Each structure stands twice: as C-alpha cells, then as structure tokens.
Chains A and B, each alone.
Chain A
Amino acid sequence: MQQALAEFFSFSDPNIRYVLLGTLLLTGSAAMIGSFALLRKKVLVGDAVAHAVLPGVCLAFIITGTKHPVPLSLGASITGWLALVSIDQITNRSKIKEDTAIALVLSVTFGLGILLLTAIQHTGNAEQVGLSNFLFGKAAALVSDDLKTLALLGLMLIIIVLLFFKEFTLVAFDKAFAQASGLPVRRLELLLTSLTVLAIVVGIRAVGILLMAVMLITPPAAARFWTNHLPTMVLLAAVLGMIAGLAGSFVSYIAPAMPTGPWIVMTISVVAYGSFLLAPRRGLLARRIRQRKHQKKTLTENILKLFYELGVTEGSVGTKRTLYDLLKSRSMPTSRLVAGLKRLQKHKMLQQEGLGWRLTAAGSRKGKEISQRHHLWKLYLTQHLKTEADHTHEDAESIEHIITPELAEELRGLVKLPVTGKSTTQHTHWTFEGAGQGQPVKTPAGE
C-alpha cells in the first residue's frame, strides 16, 4: 500500500500523469460550474441531465458504431439538453411540479438508456465493451485520446467561467438587477446551462452517470461553509473537487477493476460532512457554541434584571432573595436558575448569603442597564413603530440581550422618556428611573 502510494504520487508513470490530469480537470471544472448551479438552486436538474446522458451515448454508439469521444459527447449533450427542456416545459405547461418533473425525466431517460444499453450488449458487438463504464466511471479506462478531448473541454469550461465570472455572479444572485443593468440575462442563463450540460458530459467518464451530480452539488456546498466570498467559494469548490478526483484516480491505480465514481463520491462526501460540522462560523458546531453562549448570556441577564426590577418595585435593590422568591416572580427550570446564579456569583455580580443571594454594586449596575434596554425598546416600538403597548413585551424580552451600549445610547436619543410619576402609559414600572438609584431622568434636548 505504502509503495503504491509512493509510486502513485511520484507521477513517474506517464499513464498516471494523463489519468490524473484528466480527472483533475474533469472534477475541478464540474465543481466550478456547480457553484453557480447551487446558487441558482438548479443542482437536482443537474442530476436529471446526468442520467439523460445515457440514451444519448447509446444512440450515438448505435449510429456511429464507435466509441470515439466526439460523437458520444455530442449525443450525450443533445439528450442532456432535451432533458432540461422537457423539465422546463412540463413544469411550465402543466400542473406537475418541478420535483416530480425532475424525477420523471431522470428515471425515464435513464430507463431508455438502460434499454438501449442492454439491447446493444445483447447484439454481441465487440466494440460495446466498456460502454457500461459510463455508469459508474472508470478513470483507469480512459485512453489518451479520450483524455485529450475531455481535458480540452474541461479547460475550455474553466476559461469560459473565468471570462464571464462577473456576469454569472450577477445572474446567480440578482437576476432582476442583472436585467436592469442591461445584461443579456436569457443568453447568459443559456450559456450557464449549456456549460452545466458540458461539465456533466465531460465528467461522467471519471465519475459515472449515476453519481455525476455529486460533483456539481457536494464540493460547492462544502465550500459554501468556509466562505461568504464567491470567487473564494468557486476556487475552494474546484480544489475540493480535485482532491476527490485525486483520491478517485488513486483507487483506479491500485485497483483498476474498481469503479472510480463511488470512491470520488465517498471522499468528497466525507469532506463535505466535515465542513458542515466543523467549519468556523457557519458550521454546526460553531453555531451550537454560539447559541449556547447566547443562551447563557440571556439567562444571566434575565436573572440580574429580575433582581433589579424586584428591588425597584419594592424600593430596595440590595435585598437578599431566595430561590423561592425568584421563582415566584419568574418561572424557569430551577436547575437553570441555580446554574445562572452560580455563574453570576463567580463574576461578582451576586453575593451568596446563607440561602439567599444579594446584588453587588456591579450586578446592580448591570441589572439596571438591561432593564433600561428593555424599556427603551418598548418605548421605541410604541412611539416610532406605533405598536400597541401590550404587544411590545415579548419583543423587548429577546432584543434586550442584543442591544449594544451604542445602540442603547442612540435609542435614548430617539424616544421620549416619560417623566417620573406623570406617566400616562400603563408601564408604571418605568418609574424605576427615579426610584432606586436616585438618578434623574434625562430628557432629550428639545423636549
């Protein structure tokens, strides 16, 4: 195994070099064009096109009687194209929905292909051996003639994508804007679709008809989790696709009888699942950690606010409160409350005394801050967005943990703060402003 690895990666065998270069170009170009298909939500259509390639290949073989890559690719492109048109026509002209149309075209064209393929096989024509390699792909079976044609097509694909990168980006993200800026959107979409068909036709030799769609879907989807920048994403998708291609051609090298496609797919799928789970920021793990952090913050802030507001209504912020007191005014799972109290104690916001807890000076400041944010948001909603006062509480409950000090300052400038005691709203507890801390309410200038 180790020896095979060393031999493979020394690239000394010209055959290996050919197969490798071919596979890399095929998988890389498919991943690039797949990025746009993914953004346009057209990847499953790609699956249908890949399946529809089979009858084209078989028909081309029946007509020409050879396995020359040019007629086979031409036949494949034609039926691939027809599949796209049929899906479009069926969804636009009947009550049948897109998913049914895709599944229908995919399976029927593939069935037709299988019928033709088996019929060819039963004729006993010696030339047909190897046609079935189209099903699962066999990189090792690529001869240098095929590779030259396919590599050329792959290279062409990459160049076209690079040339029209800006236009494709616009069409993928904002079709209406592209139209308004005078781009020939329909023609660009046609070009993108044709390139997708071409990428599939080119790629099936290595990956196979059944799994070709993976090269369009999985590398871009994985790349999407690492970046928000489209050029980076396309490049990364191509690189990931190529890594899978490398793995595939290596398997082809050590076990020539093995179909290549499934190995390419397994490699890229592992990479993709890794990205989904582990990517920074967008990955599941990173998001879960962020959620957990926010939950903790929300809990501690809610407890501080509870202490503070209870204190304000009773007239003394520093009162000692037991678990029972706290749970009476705000129901939450006791275990969570205890965990929150302990955390606050560690941060010196609370002080434990016997069975109760007491706000420290820092805790009281923080509690006041949160309570103010809550009420600022309520006022903003009632005064500026004309929301009914009794609908504002829920919203404020969640936003109070997100408002930054800068934003709070800005809100303070926007809303009219009611004067203590003369408040006509039902939020009489706004009067906490004057009650506990002895700080006068600041009214904004011009009031």
Chain B
Amino acid sequence: METVWIVLIASLAAINCSLIGTYLMLRRLAMIGDAIAHAVLPGIVIASLLASSKTSLVALVGAGSVGIVVTLLIEFLHGQVKLQPDAAIGINFTWLFALGVILISFLSKKTDLDPECVLYGEIAYAPLDTWVGPGGINLGPRAVYVLAAMLLVNLSFILLSYKELSVTTFDPAFAATIGMNTTLWHYALMGATSYTTVATFEVVGAVIVVALLVAPPATAYLLTQRLHKTLVVAALLGILTAVGGCYLALWVNGSIAGAMATTAGGLFFSTFLIQQWHKKSPQVPISPVT
C-alpha cells in the first residue's frame, strides 16, 4: 500500500511540474524556474517555523511569495542596475538559498527540516504523514491532498487561460498590441511556478524539482509539434518518470527524488540520441531509375 501511495504522490508531483514546466521552457524561463525553486527555501523554513506544520496553507502562501520576490529581484538587477541577465539570476537565487540553509542550521532543532533533505525531499516518509478525518478515519497521506489541490489549480489555470497563455508565450508583441497585459500573465505563471515548487518541496526538494520542471517538457518538445500535444505528452512522461523513478530507487536503494531526476534525464537523453541517430543515417531516397 505504501508503495502505491509513493507512486501516486510522485506522479502527482511530476504532472504538476511538467505542465508548468512546459510554459517555462517555451518562454525561455527555465533558469528562472530553477531560481524560484531554490529561492522558496527561506520562505518554507520561516513558514514551517511559524505554522509548525510544513503542509499548512499558511506555509504554502508565505513560501510561494518568496518565489515571486526572487523574480522581482532578478528583474530589478537586470532592469534597474543593468546587470547582464544570467548574472542577475545567478546572484539572487543563490543568496536566498544560502539564507535558507543558514536558517535551517540555526533552527534545526525547532523544525523537522535538515539541509540535505531540502535538496531531495523525503518522499519515502510522505505516506506516513496522514490526514486523520473527524471520526478518526485515516484519509490517506496529506501530500496527496496538497498535490491534488495544486494539480486542480494548475489545470484550471492552464485550461481557463489556454488562449491567453499561448498568445503571450508565442507572440508577446502581438499580445501586447491587442491589449493584453503580458506582465500580468508573466507574473501569473511565476506565481504558479512558485506554488508548484512549494507544493512539491516536501516530496522532491528544492533542487530535484527543477528536473521535473524541465526534463519531461523538453522530451515532449522533441516529440511533438503542437502545444496541447506537448502538454499531454509532458504529463504522461511525468507519470512515466515517477513510476520509473520509484522502481530505480528501489533497485539501487537510493533517494526516490534522485532516481526520478535520473529517469527523467534518461528519457530525455535516449529520445535525443535516437533522434540524432535517425538524422545521421537518412533514408536513401528511392530512385525512380533502377
């Protein structure tokens, strides 16, 4: 039963990340996604200290806002201070992450976080943290509810604003001319990214979540030409990543999150290499004369 819960939790986390990650990749914001995933750490530490439970709603809201703060800081260093964009990203998320690690080292006795688990989460323990209903009924792991709710939010965000997201992603100039607020959509996506990384934090940690955000969408991008297909394939690859990762982790007796990242990477690189191989040996065209 526990394994089933783990696979379910891992799949939910991976689907959430794949959907949002597809837009990050298409908007060339993959490294911003990386920055957000790192930067939410101090928010999570402080929130977990205040709320005494990592999965409470307060913690989610507070921590997610730090993710938006880091995008504003990057924007500030790039736009106002005139720093080159890559340096602006690199400087901001690292100090926030460092701050998070320092906070954890100071508060390790008061919170159940430790510096290493923030890197790759503790999905194996997630099924143990169950939600007990009013009558003392065991309603299953808390993480399942958090991630399912997050998936509901992400899905409705994408489905309800599919057109707006597409236009601002593929042709921001056109979107601006027809009067759309591209900044608003940018920050809506940044908010979705922040909250997704916070929701999946407990399960896969602050760093490995990047692999789930980027690898399945990148693989799907290699395989598809249309946005809706990319999204669906990315989500399916996310599930495959989760299932494969769980088995790989069981096999080598290692971290499940690490194994999921490895699986996601394996899927990407095998797709990439197969495509390269096909490109290198083009089929000889059939000649009309024999």
- Given A90-B272, A111-B211, A122-B253, do A262 and B101 touch, yes or no (CB 8 Å)? yes
Partner of B25, one of A51, A100, A118: A100
Specify the chain A residue showing the minimal Cβ separation from B120. A114
**Interface: A108 (CB within 8 A):** yes
Question: Whole-angstrom distance between the alpha carbons of A234 and B80 in the complex?
Answer: 24
- CB–CB B221/A96 < 8 A: yes
- CB–CB B81/A276 < 8 A: yes
**Interface: B192 (CB within 8 A):** no
- The distance from the CB of A197 to the nearest CB of chain B, in whole angstroms, is 17
- Given A136-B101, A266-B98, A284-B80, do A107 and B258 touch, yes or no (CB 8 Å)? no
- The distance from the CB of A85 to the nearest CB of chain B, in whole angstroms, is 12
Residues of A contacting B98 with CB < 8 Å?
211, 214, 261-263, 265-266, 269
Specify the chain A residue showing the minimal Cβ separation from B88. A221
Partner of A44, one of B86, B213, B214, B262: B86
- CB–CB B262/A111 < 8 A: yes
- CB–CB B83/A276 < 8 A: yes
Residues of B contacting A16 with CB < 8 Å?
none
Partner of A97, one of B28, B82, B248, B260: B28
A255-288 contacts to B, CB under 8 A, are: 257-259, 261-263, 265-266, 269, 272, 276-277, 282, 284
- CB–CB A115/B252 < 8 A: yes
Question: Whole-angstrom distance between the alpha carbons of A269 and B97 in the complex?
Answer: 12
**Interface: B198 (CB within 8 A):** no
- Given A38-B84, A99-B31, A262-B102, do A104 and B211 touch, yes or no (CB 8 Å)? yes
Question: Whole-angstrom distance between the alpha carbons of A26 and B261 in the complex?
Answer: 30
Residues of A contacting B262 with CB < 8 Å?
108, 111-112, 115
Specify the chain B residue showing the minimal Cβ separation from A109. B265
Count A/B pairs, Cβ under 8 Å: 195
Question: Whole-angstrom distance between the alpha carbons of A97 and B213 in the complex?
Answer: 15
- CB–CB A113/B91 < 8 A: no
- The distance from the CB of A258 to the nearest CB of chain B, in whole angstroms, is 6
- CB–CB A213/B258 < 8 A: no
Residues of B contacting A117 with CB < 8 Å?
254-255, 258
Residue from the set A43, A97, A112, A257 with the largest chain B CB neighbour count within 10 Å: A112
- Given A108-B211, A115-B262, do A103 and B257 touch, yes or no (CB 8 Å)? no
Residues of A contacting B25 with CB < 8 Å?
96-97, 100
Question: Whole-angstrom distance between the alpha carbons of A282 and B178 in the complex?
Answer: 37
Residues of B contacting A330 with CB < 8 Å?
none
B52-95 contacts to A, CB under 8 A, are: 77, 80-84, 86-87, 89-91, 94-95
- The distance from the CB of A421 to the nearest CB of chain B, in whole angstroms, is 47
**Interface: A94 (CB within 8 A):** yes
Specify the chain B residue showing the minimal Cβ separation from A55. B262
Residues of B contacting A265 with CB < 8 Å?
94-95, 97-98
- CB–CB A221/B83 < 8 A: yes
- CB–CB A47/B90 < 8 A: yes
Question: Whole-angstrom distance between the alpha carbons of A108 and B269 in the complex?
Answer: 10
**Interface: A217 (CB within 8 A):** yes
Q: Mark B142-175, 1 if CB is under 8 A from A, else 0.
A: 0000000000000000000000000000000000
Partner of A119, one of B207, B209, B253, B276: B253
**Interface: A41 (CB within 8 A):** yes
- CB–CB A100/B30 < 8 A: yes
Residues of A contacting B90 with CB < 8 Å?
43-44, 47, 213-214, 217-218
- The distance from the CB of B227 to the nearest CB of chain A, in whole angstroms, is 14
**Interface: B105 (CB within 8 A):** yes
- The distance from the CB of B252 to the nearest CB of chain A, in whole angstroms, is 5
- CB–CB B254/A111 < 8 A: no
- CB–CB A108/B86 < 8 A: no
- CB–CB A115/B265 < 8 A: no
**Interface: A116 (CB within 8 A):** yes
Residues of B contacting A246 with CB < 8 Å?
none
- CB–CB B208/A110 < 8 A: yes
**Interface: A210 (CB within 8 A):** yes
- CB–CB A94/B222 < 8 A: yes
Q: Mark B28-42, 1 if CB is under 8 A from A, else 0.
A: 111101100000000
Partner of B97, one of A90, A116, A210, A217: A210
- The distance from the CB of A45 to the nearest CB of chain B, in whole angstroms, is 9
10 additional contacts (CB under 8 A) given A47-B90, A107-B208, A115-B248: A51-B207, A104-B214, A106-B34, A108-B265, A110-B207, A111-B211, A136-B115, A259-B101, A262-B101, A265-B97
* Cβ-closest 8 pairs across A and B: A111-B261, A108-B265, A115-B258, A114-B258, A107-B211, A119-B254, A269-B95, A107-B210
B positions within 8 Å CB-CB of A? 25, 28-31, 33-34, 77, 80-84, 86-87, 89-91, 94-95, 97-99, 101-102, 105, 115-116, 119-120, 207-211, 213-215, 217-218, 221-222, 248-249, 252-255, 257-262, 264-265, 268-269, 272, 275-276
* Sample of 22 A–B contacts (CB below 8 Å): A96-B221, A96-B222, A100-B30, A107-B34, A107-B210, A108-B264, A110-B207, A112-B258, A112-B262, A113-B258, A114-B255, A118-B120, A118-B254, A132-B116, A135-B115, A214-B90, A218-B94, A263-B102, A265-B97, A265-B98, A266-B102, A284-B81
A positions within 8 Å CB-CB of B? 38, 41, 43-44, 47, 51, 86, 90, 93-97, 99-104, 106-119, 122-123, 132, 135-136, 210-211, 213-214, 217-218, 221, 257-259, 261-263, 265-266, 269, 272, 276-277, 282, 284
